[in-house]
Amino acid sequence: MGEKLPRVPGGARLHSDTLSRPVRTLRVKMVLLGSSGVGKSSLALRFSKDEFKCTSPTVGCAYLTRVVHLSEVTLRFEIWDTAGQEKYHSVTPLYYRGAHAALLVYDISKKETFIRAQVWLKELEKQYIPESTVIWLVGNKGDLAQDRQVSVQEGQSLANDRGLFFTETSALSGDQISQLLVAVAHRVYKCIGAQQGGLSEWRETPVVDLHHRDTLSPFASCCKVGP
C-alpha cells in the first residue's frame, strides 16, 4: 500500500513522555493540512498517543505533542492539526508559518481531497522558505483501498513533480504511522537540525510554587507552567 517506509530504526524510539530523553531536545513544529474529513485529527492522535477514535471536525486548530528519540538527539514534535473547512482557510496560515514539517493529507477514496491537497500546497509554498520545511504528501485511509479513487502512482507522481516525500497510511489500522513519524524526524534533523538556527532547543519550564514565592527568584513574578 503506497510507498513502504523503512522499518523503525534501532536508533529511533517513539515516546509520549520525556522522562528518559537525552540531554539535548530540539523542538519541531509539524502541521497537518488538508480537506475536512481526510483524517488529520486521527493521524495526529495516532502520532501522539497511538490511539484511534472517531473525531468531530476540528475548530481552528488542535495541538498535541510526541517525542522521538534518535540516536544522537531527541526531537519534541509539536503537532498542529488544522481545520479543513473552507471557513477557516484564511486563518490557517497563522498556524503553519514557521513549520519545520508539513503533512499534506488526502483521502485515497475521495479524488476531490487529492485535488484540494494541491491547492493547500500552493498556499504553503507562498509561506515557506525552500529547504526550511520538509513537506510530505500523505494518502490516508489506506483501509478503504476497495473504494480507492486516487492511485498510488498518482500520489507518487505528484510528489516527484513537486519535490515532496510520499507515503500512504491508515490512521484506523495504524499502518505506516510510526514509520512515517520516524522518517519525518530523520529527514527534519538531517535537513534542518544541522543548520545554524534551524531547530531551537526545548527546555522544560520550572514549576513555580505560588504559595511560597521567593521575591528574589527570577521566577517570582511568573505564573506560566509548561513549555
b/e code 68-81 from CB counts within 10 Å (16+ = b): bbbeebbbbbbbbb
Give the C-alpha separation, 198 to 212, whole Å. 38
Among 31-40, 54-63, 128-137, top mean pLDDT goes to 31-40
What confidence category does residue 145 fall into, taking pLDDT thresholds of 50, 70 and 90?
A: very high
Is 219 part of a structural domain of the chain?
Answer: no
Structure confidence at residue 202 (pLDDT): 82
- HEC letters along the chain: CCCCCCCCCCCCEEECCCCCCCCCEEEEEEEEEECCCCCHHHHHHHHHHCCCCCCCCCCCEEEEEEEEECCCCEEEEEEEEECCCHHHCCCCHHHHCCCCEEEEEEECCCHHHHHHHHHHHHHHHHHCCCCCCEEEEEEECHHHHHHCCCCHHHHHHHHHHHCCEEEECCCCCCCCHHHHHHHHHHHHHHHHHCCCCCCCECCCCCCCCCCCCCCCCCCCCCCCCCC
Percent of the chain with pLDDT strictly greater than 90 = 48
Residue pLDDT, tens place only, 8-23 = 554 566 654 445 544 5
- What average pLDDT score do residues 64-80 get? 92
Say how many domains are in the chain. Answer: 1
Residue 199 counted as domain residue: no
**More reliable by pLDDT, 131 or 58:** 131
- Distance CA(71)–CA(180), nearest Å, equals 17
Q: What is the pTM of this model?
A: 0.77
Does residue 208 lie within any of the structural domains? Answer: no
Q: Is the pLDDT of residue 217 over 50?
A: no
Domain boundaries, position 43: 13-193
Confidence of residue 192 (pLDDT cuts 50, 70, 90): confident
Q: Is residue 129 domain-resident? A: yes
Q: Which amino acid is at 195?
A: Q
Do the domain assignments include residue 207? no
* CATH number (domain holding residue 146): 3.40.50.300
Instruction: Flag whether 76 is in a domain.
Output: yes
Grid cell in block for residue 120? 493547500
Q: Give the mean model confidence (pLDDT) for residues 168-181.
A: 96
Tell whether 5 is covered by a domain.
no
With respect to residue 216, please indicate whether it lies within any of the assigned structural domains.
no
